[in-house]
Amino acid sequence: MNDAVSIARDLIRCPSVTPADAGALGVLENILKATGFEVHRVTFSEPGTADIDNLYARIGNQAPHISFAGHTDVVPPGDENAWSHGAFSGEVKDGLLYGRGAVDMKGGIACSVAAVLEYLAANGGKPRGSISFLITGDEEDVALNGTIKLLKWVADRGEQPDHCVLGEPSNVEVLGDCIKIGRRGSQSGTLYVDGIQGHVAYPQRAANPVPDISRLIVALSDEPLDHGSAQFQASNLEFTSVDVGNTANNVIPGQARAKFNIRFNDNHTHQSLRQLVEQRVAKAAGNWMRARVVWEPSNADVFVTRPGAFTDLAVAAIEEVTGRKPELSTSGGTSDARFISHYCPVIEFGLVGQTMHQIDERTPVSDLEKLTKIYRGLLDRYFA
């Protein structure tokens, strides 16, 4: 059976905890090859990271070209004894499909595959353009050997989608409430303040960096980075840890450091954001603090797919099945859509994300059926 529930169950039963594939891509390869897709399995490597297997499949060689993207890797199940049904059982109970990846995002992939098979069956086995799948295995990890490299590999073949649907669990409360049309960027860094180590009884011989870094943390936290933009909420800088590496209570530390992460909107680029933060650090530090920021590499750029014909098409397909007009949202964290956006307009629409990454991750079977109908309706409209 190649309905969404059957495909999702087969995928869930592959314990593909990133970076392991555990047969998940093979499930898709077998289905798509049997339907007439040209399927490629491509492995990418990077020093210091695991090799990642990826899948690219395409049917048709004409425009327009729509692609469905996703990842078959999942986060660890945690305490498997805490699951009411096996973490990789794919069990259906009381109308719910259980298992790691049911929501994030094997369920979404299964719905897109089922919808494409239905569309092809109703149209003589060929699309009125091209349909492809871009499936990776490292989205839940460092995302270095997956979508970002697979897209380049596809482009080097002279192929590029005109539009893409990423089946991440975009809905907040109920199916049909939200389409992600963009994501804020992400930039992490560490703030360092150097002092002079010394005995606490002789503070005049030392320079304590702890009060200084506290002042800088307050200064950076209190001043807004911006006030939002037309499509995005305000950027936010959040400190996530403060440390001096000091185990002695009678020693003034020689250095203090604080880690932070910024989620930024389209008022900024990585470069302009770094310059802004460094200017604010220099201003707050004055002439007496020895402070600096060390930035971490980031491939999480801000992007937005402007509302237009493609988003209107998706909204119509969703509204037809669910009766809801979804919000066009740019909230949340990052996803592989940030890479896809460099090649074509991309939207994210999948299942409801309430149980993703949790014990007893699950989705209603009825949502799988509805999402399949939505994807099918989207294909009908896209090729009309």
**What does residue 358 show for φ and ψ, rounded to 5 degrees?**
-95, 165
Q: Which residue is catalytic, options 10, 21, 73, 361?
A: 73
Specify the pairing of strand 65-71 against strand 163-166.
Answer: parallel
CA distance 54 to 137: 6
Query: Residue 150 in 3-state DSSP?
Result: helix
Distances from the Cα of 269 to the Cα of 148, 283, 289, 298, 333, angstroms: 19, 21, 28, 11, 17
Angle between helical axes of 270-285 and 209-222 (0-180°, round to 10): 130
Report the 10 Å Cβ neighbour count for 33. 12
All residues at 6 or more sequence positions from 283 whose CB lies less than 8 Å from its CB, including other chains: none
* Strands annotated E in the chain: 38-44, 52-59, 65-71, 92-93, 96-98, 130-136, 163-166, 178-180, 182-183, 185-194, 198-199, 236-243, 251-252, 255-264, 290-295, 303-304, 327-329, 346-348, 362-364
What is the edge-to-edge ordering of all strands in the sheet holding 236-243? 236-243, 255-264, 185-194, 290-295
**Residue 73: active-site member:** yes
Query: Residue 305 in 3-state DSSP?
Result: coil
- Which tokens in the block code for residue 139? 């989205």
CA distance 82 to 287: 55
Q: Which residue is catalytic, options 53, 104, 138, 139?
A: 139
Length of the chain: 384
**Residue 139: active-site member:** yes
All residues at 6 or more sequence positions from 383 whose CB lies less than 8 Å from its CB, including other chains: 64, 123, 127, 128, 129
Looking at residue 214, what DSSP letter applies? H
Please list the active-site residues: 73, 139
